[in-house]
Structures are given as C-alpha cells and as structure tokens.
C-alpha cells in the first residue's frame, strides 16, 4: 500500500530496477535518488546523475562516498535537457524530481521547457521494458506552471507508443507531489498477452 509519492517511487525502484541495470537520475538534488539507484543496480550497474548546480553534485558525490561507493556512476554538470549528449546506451529507467534543491536556492528550479525536452529525450533512451518516473512537486515556491505544462505534454503522448499512469494522493492538503510513470505501451500489451 502506498502512503505517499516516496513509497510509489520506492516500489518502482524495488520491483523493476535490477542488479546490472543502467539508469539515470535526471535531477541529482540532494543525491538520495542517485544513492538508491546505485544501491539497486549494484557494482555491475551504472548511474548517470545530472544537475545544473555544482553544489548538488558535490552533495551527491559525498553521499555516495559515505556509503562506500566510489565508482560505477557519473555525475554530470549539465542540464538534463542535454542528456543525449552524455549517454549513448539504453537505460532501464530515468528518474526526475521536479522542483528545487531541498535546502538550496529556491529561485533555481527545473523549468517547463527544459523538463519537457529532457523527458522527450529520456523516452528515446529507455529500453522497451524501461520506464521514466517523475515526481512532480507543485504549489508553494514551485508554482503550478511546470506541472500544468508537463501534464499537458504527457496527456498528449501517443497512446499507441506510451502508457502514462498518474498517481495522485487526492485527499492530502498542501498539494502533495504526484508521480507520473511512462512505460512502453507495446511492451505492456505483449506482456498482457503472455508473449513476454
């Protein structure tokens, strides 16, 4: 049972990310997703982690090192909208946390145009059994523009190619984060038919 957006993301990490997988954290932030992903994929797996704030990457590296992890990852000081310039292999998952760096400068946060470009590029990078998972913080300092623009984009994704499932905790106050999960529709269809 899912209490909040964190438990939904944890479920996808635990159920669908395996030892040896190659994945990307599109928004390193405090580094907790990068660490969780690296712990899931293990020594034989690999995590790419992006941020436009060097401070976030320093925090992320510190968190990895404190957990005894010194390789099998790459911290990339660039916008996730340039993801395709840094990754040239298929990924099992791309993870987004939209909003601002916790405890950081609230004027620096993800923006609709670059976010949508990054999600679009993620869809080209994931393998057929892969997924893109996006935690959408909205309201407060994050505002609603990014959420609204992103949801509009996701609602219009080709339903023959993609399946978009939105998780919404509808009776919580203060705009709790939503989670959107994008998967490959054709893969799900074949799986349902027992062909995979």
Binding of its own copies at residue 196 (CB under 8 A)? no
User: What is the total count of residues that contact its own copies (CB under 8 A)?
Assistant: 33
Q: Which is nearer to its own copies, 68 or 173 (CB)?
A: 173
Which 3 state secondary structure label does DSSP give 39? helix
Contact 41, 16 (CB under 8 A): no
Q: Which is nearer to its own copies, 13 or 50 (CB)?
A: 13
Taking each helix axis from N to C end, the angle separating 112-125 and 145-155, rounded to the nearest 10 degrees, works out to 40
In the block, tokens 């982690």 appear at 49
Contact 36, 60 (CB under 8 A): no
39, 58, 69, 151: which one binds its own copies (CB under 8 A): 151
CA distances from 158 to 88, 120, 186 (A): 24, 12, 11
| Degrees to nearest 5, angle at CA 36 with 66 and 38 | 75
- Of the candidate spans 51-59, 107-115, 120-128, 155-163, the one that interacts with its own copies by CB under 8 A turns out to be 155-163
Binding of its own copies at residue 123 (CB under 8 A)? no
74, 86, 90, 172: which one binds its own copies (CB under 8 A): 172
Contacting residues toward its own copies, per CB under 8 A = 1-3, 7, 16, 131, 151, 154-159, 162-173, 180-181, 183, 185, 188-189, 191-192
């Amino acid at each position: 049972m899912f209490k909040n957006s964190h438990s939904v993301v944890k479920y996808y990490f635990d159920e669908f990310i395996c030892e040896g997988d190659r994945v990307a954290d599109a928004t390193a932030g405090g580094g907790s997703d990068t660490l969780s992903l690296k712990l899931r994929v293990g020594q034989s797996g690999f995590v790419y982690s992006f941020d436009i704030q060097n401070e976030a990457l320093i925090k992320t590296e510190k968190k990895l090192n404190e957990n005894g992890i010194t390789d099998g990852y790459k911290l990339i000081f660039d916008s996730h909208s340039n993801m395709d310039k840094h990754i040239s292999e298929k990924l099992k998952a791309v993870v987004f946390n939209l909003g601002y760096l916790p405890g950081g400068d609230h004027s620096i946060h993800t923006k609709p145009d670059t976010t949508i470009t990054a999600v679009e590029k993620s869809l080209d990078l994931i393998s057929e059994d892969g997924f893109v998972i996006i935690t959408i913080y909205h309201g407060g300092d994050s505002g609603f523009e990014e959420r609204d623009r992103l949801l509009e984009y996701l609602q219009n994704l080709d339903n023959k190619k993609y399946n978009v499932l939105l998780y919404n905790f509808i009776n919580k106050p203060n705009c709790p984060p939503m989670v959107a999960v994008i998967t490959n529709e054709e893969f799900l269809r074949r799986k349902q038919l027992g062909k995979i």
